[in-house]
Amino acid sequence: MRELARVVLDDDYEFGEAADGIECLESARRLRPDLMVVDLMLPGMSGLEMLGELRSDPVLADVPVVVVSAWDHLEADALAAGAARFLGKPFEPDELRATVAALLVRE
């Protein structure tokens, strides 16, 4: 997933990567990103748990998060937890690119 995001977005955006949910949350606190793309299936802390932690952090609570997952049945849970958008896997690269661009324009 990280490799796909890099290939799709690298020419247009600056971004960091994390190997698991805990590292993702720590990186977000350090980097204060404008947007995050997060998979639900992460080692250490699930994407839903990480999203809950993110939303409880006053500095990061408003960061738009695009959740991507093969677990389409968790779309409602991800949106209820604060995801701005949900993309089911597999998705088209242009769909990710358009979603990220649309969310960043709203800022």
Query: pLDDT tens digit string along 50-75?
Result: 999 999 999 999 999 999 999 999 99
Rounded average pLDDT over 15-41: 91
Look up the domain containing 57 and give its range.
Answer: 2-105
> Could you write out the DSSP letters of every residue in the chain?
-HHHHHHHHTTT------SSHHHHHHHHHHH--S-EEEES--SSS-HHHHHHHHHHSTTTTT--EEEEES-GGGHHHHHHTT-SEEEESS--HHHHHHHHHHHHHT-
CATH number of the domain residue 26 falls in: 3.40.50.2300
Domains in the chain: how many in total? 1
Query: Any idea which residue has 């049945």 for tokens?
Result: 73
pLDDT band at 106 (very low <50, low <70, confident <90, very high): low
